[in-house]
Amino acid sequence: MSGSDTASFTDPGFLAHFGLSRVNVLEYFLHPLNPFRSQNPTNNTPCCNELLAMQHISIGHLMQNGTGVRAGPLSLAQAEEEYNAALSRLTGEQYELLPPPPSDSDAENAQAPLFVIRHVLRKNVAVAPVLGIYYVLEGVIYKSPSMRTLMKSNIARTCKGLEDACDVLSNSAWYSTSLGYFFDFEASKTSLEEEEDEVDILERMKKKRNRTRRVLDNRRPGERTEEEEEGLRSKEKMNSILLRLSKSSFVQDS
């Protein structure tokens, strides 16, 4: 299994035996077969989480026994705080369990279906560049997509939408000697060629034009000026002439 953005990892044996919660999700992530964990730690040394594990420092152990300064048992939030403090004192590659959403119950936080783990290269207490983000959803580990991957996906989706829109426009584009270029979206060009002729299309376009004119100018005849009335009568006559020309054998044969 590769560590690509589309890969995932799960260990059914671990999940069946131990279950999964905030107490052990870091141990689950550090499974030797997990392709997402770093296979070449800095200076060929184990990651900081494994160094802490060698010292018997883990969230579960801290919850039971506490620390030398804070006696146990500790709550989940207290144990995570102590574990993160121990990580911050080390340098090198680390896997941090990010805080859960606000909740009033530690038990609810512990059994949440989603955990977020951040891979960092800690240089000191304040400087820790992020190397990657990982999600553990219902026991399956995924790598968060990079910004480059998200941009490529968005661009590809946008181009596909533009291509589909151009296909629709291409199939709906028509040309008439009387109307010029126009679009008809009520049917594809193929079905129009099979079921309708150009005269029917022109008549439908004429009705659309008249309907648009009435919406734009819904005044009564007496409310228009003489110039406006004359313009409307001229337009109606021109439309009638164009329609008769479109029905003539000369236009249809051309």
> What's the pLDDT tens digit per position in 5-30?
568 999 999 999 999 999 999 999 99
Query: Domain of 229?
Result: 164-247
| Per-residue model confidence (pLDDT) at position 145 | 80
| Per-residue model confidence (pLDDT) at position 151 | 83
pLDDT at 95 over 90: yes
Q: Mark whether 99 and 190 lie in a shared domain.
A: no
Q: Mark whether 104 and 181 lie in a shared domain.
A: no
Q: Is residue 153 part of a domain?
A: no
Q: Mark whether 116 and 184 lie in a shared domain.
A: no
* pLDDT band at 94; cut points 50, 70, 90: very high
Q: Is residue 158 part of a domain?
A: no
Q: Mark whether 94 and 203 lie in a shared domain.
A: no
| Per-residue model confidence (pLDDT) at position 215 | 39
| Per-residue model confidence (pLDDT) at position 227 | 73
DSSP annotation string for 25-75: HHHHHT-TT-TTS-SS-GGG---HHHHHHHTT--HHHHHHHB-SSSBS---
Q: Count CB atoms within 10 A of the CB of residue 238.
A: 10
Q: Mark whether 108 and 185 lie in a shared domain.
A: no
pTM (predicted TM-score): 0.56
| Per-residue model confidence (pLDDT) at position 217 | 57
Q: Mark whether 21 and 135 lie in a shared domain.
A: yes
Q: Mark whether 139 and 19 lie in a shared domain.
A: yes
| Per-residue model confidence (pLDDT) at position 154 | 83
Q: Mark whether 47 and 173 lie in a shared domain.
A: no
Q: Domain tally for the chain?
A: 2
Which one of 92, 113, 147 terminates a domain? 147
pLDDT at 213 over 60: no
Q: Mark whether 168 and 142 lie in a shared domain.
A: no
* pLDDT band at 229; cut points 50, 70, 90: confident
* pLDDT, mean of residues 229-239: 73
Q: Mark whether 46 and 119 lie in a shared domain.
A: yes
Q: Is residue 208 part of a domain?
A: yes
* pLDDT, mean of residues 144-172: 80
User: What is the rounded end-to-end Cα distance, in angstroms, of the chain?
Assistant: 65
Identify the residue whose tokens are 């512990």. 110
Cα–Cα dist 179/91, whole Å: 75
> What's the pLDDT tens digit per position in 126-139?
899 999 999 999 89
Q: Mark whether 20 and 127 lie in a shared domain.
A: yes
The pair of three-digit structure tokens given for residue 108, joined into one six-digit string: 């609810």
pLDDT at 234 over 90: no
* pLDDT band at 108; cut points 50, 70, 90: low
Q: Is residue 1 part of a domain?
A: no
Would you tell me the crossing angle of helices 226-247 and 198-216 to the nearest 10 degrees? 170
Q: What is the DSSP letter of 99?
A: P
Q: Are strands 8-9 and 140-143 parallel, antiparallel or unpaired?
A: antiparallel
Question: Could you tell me how far CA 196 lies from the centroid of its own chain?
Answer: 42
Q: Which residues contact 217 (CB under 8 A, 6 or more apart)?
A: 224
Which one of 147, 180, 195 terminates a domain? 147
Q: Mark whether 143 and 186 lie in a shared domain.
A: no
Q: Which residues contact 52 (CB under 8 A, 6 or more apart)?
A: 58, 83, 86, 87, 90
> What's the pLDDT tens digit per position in 34-93?
999 887 666 677 899 999 999 989 999 999 888 877 777 888 889 999 999 999 999 999
> What's the pLDDT tens digit per position in 164-194?
877 777 777 776 666 676 777 665 544 544 4
Q: Is residue 159 part of a domain?
A: no
For residue 128, which of 84, 81, 93 has the smallest C-alpha distance? 93
The pair of three-digit structure tokens given for residue 1, joined into one six-digit string: 């299994």
* pLDDT band at 2; cut points 50, 70, 90: very low
Q: Is residue 224 part of a domain?
A: yes
* Helix, strand, coil share (%) of the chain residues, nearest 5: 50, 15, 35
Q: Is residue 217 part of a domain?
A: yes
Q: Are 133 and 144 in contact (CB under 8 A)?
A: yes
DSSP annotation string for 108-132: HHHT-SEEEEEEEEESSSS---EEE
Cα–Cα dist 171/225, whole Å: 42
CATH number at residue 63: 3.10.450.580
Q: Is residue 157 part of a domain?
A: no
| Per-residue model confidence (pLDDT) at position 30 | 93
Which one of 92, 116, 147 terminates a domain? 147
- The share of the chain scoring above pLDDT 90, in percent, equals 31
